[in-house]
Amino acid sequence: MCFNRLQFSYNNYYKHDDEVKAMKHMTKRFCSLLLAVILTVSVLGVVSPAASASEMKSAIGTVTASALRLRKGPGTNTATVDVAPCGDVALVIGSEGDWYKVVYNLQTGYMHKDYLKLDEVKNVKIGKARFECWTNVRQGPGTDTSILDCAPQGSTCFIEGFDHGWFKVTYSGKTGYVRSDLLTMLEIPYCNADGSGNSDQGNDGEEGKTATFLYYTNVRKGPGTDYSILTCAPKNSTCTVYALKDGWYQINYKGISGYVRSDLVSVKEETGSGDGSGSEDSHETPGLANGNMSKNEKLQFVFGRTDISDPRSAYSNDGEARAHMKTVTVKTWDVNSSGEKYTRLWDLSVHENIAPTVEAIFAEIYALPEQPLIHSLGGYRWAGLSEHSVGLAIDVNPNENYYCDPNGKALSGSYFRPGEDPYSIPVGGSIDQIFAKYGFTRGIYWRSGYKDYMHYSFFGT
């Protein structure tokens, strides 16, 4: 607190000698106590108990991993509060075992020591802060430096650096230093990316995963379609994905930090490090096909060899093909005569090596919140030169998703009316995205101009 002058007086009236002596003694003690208070104030720059509500910061910690969890407690068995991308900073306020207690984006928690680089002195724009008490703004980071100003309780300043427990601040046009436990930050640090928002995914030191965009995809500022678009990523371009929140990946694309819907990218690999408790939401699952496979990888996956020029001719007859088929049971949604949705079970014959992938595809389709309607499915059938003949093609709702010539004339099925008929499957919609995630292509991209809207095949033929 700032004191220009202390005045102490009392009326000079007649007193008995012992009263005068007592008064002098009391005055001396009062002045001694008051002087002690003044010295304390001068050193600490505080006379408000509110100061104890904040903790002294010992260092600035910079995240060195691609994505680092902020946990509720000092252990991997505690809840994830947030996920910090590489380069973000946290204020270190304590240490416990292998963990630092930190303040990150206005949240207090713990980060693993292996993935924070500490600096006791650092110029870094943190942002607006509030004085929790009357506080001295000093010329340097210490009580032995001169006082530039005295900031009233509740006033604000801008933090632009850190030096051995002191914040470097700009206050009232002056640049000075304030003890770090006497300020409360009011905003997410300027130097940090936008907060990732209470994600339950990510690693303690996750190095990120490479992902490929399955379509031309909007990269948004936050995890939802109500957030603004930062850029648009072309099909087959790549990004790095980190945390998953409510069906959206936090990503970095060409230096831009943003979010994309998780079903619009195919994740290539898991390269995380740390405590081994990272996300299990990778689009590649061991034993299942995925959209990143090359033709040779697909041939090896299905047939165990790569010397097959046309996979449709891998088997010479129905009997040979059937020996490699497997029947899987899948669930879909449909409606009854009363218009009520119900679950249908289908026995679908497909190639034995693709069977687990087909089960995964239909499990995801069945779990979609829109509960898409499917009332007809077809898998293996001997049809000559066709992926159906090797159990690698699936037809969905053929009547409402017709096969047509380049002029739109129906060759099989009746029509294609997405948005009008619920059995017509929209191009690029959720079902297309799920099939593509596992390496299947819809039959609408052939050079001939013919389009088979019902047809999903592993080799795209």
Q: Where are the domains of the chain?
A: 1-44, 47-198, 204-267, 295-457
pLDDT band at residue 54 under the 50/70/90 scheme: low
Is the confidence at residue 49, as pLDDT, over 80? no
* Distance (Å) of CA 44 to CA 6, 122, 178: 19, 23, 10
Whose tokens are 């899987």? That residue is 328
pLDDT band at residue 16 under the 50/70/90 scheme: very low
CB within 8 Å of 241: residues ≥ 6 apart: 208, 209, 210, 211, 249, 250, 251, 265, 267
pLDDT band at residue 312 under the 50/70/90 scheme: very high
pLDDT, tens only, 410-420: 999 999 999 99
CATH architecture group of domain 204-267: Roll (2.30)
- Mean of the pLDDT values across residues 209-229? 77
**pLDDT value at residue 259:** 82
Half-sphere exposure of 148 (CA within 13 A, CB side): 17
pLDDT band at residue 44 under the 50/70/90 scheme: very low
Beta strand 265-267 with 209-213 is antiparallel
**How many residues are there in the chain?**
461
- Mean of the pLDDT values across residues 135-146? 93
- Identify the helix (H) or strand (E) that includes residue 27: helix 17-44
Assigned CATH topology for domain 47-198: SH3 type barrels. (2.30.30)
Does residue 409 sit in helix, strand or coil? coil
pLDDT band at residue 78 under the 50/70/90 scheme: confident
Strand boundaries in 300-389, DSSP class E:
325-335, 341-351, 377-378
* Distance (Å) of CA 380 to CA 324, 391, 400: 11, 5, 20
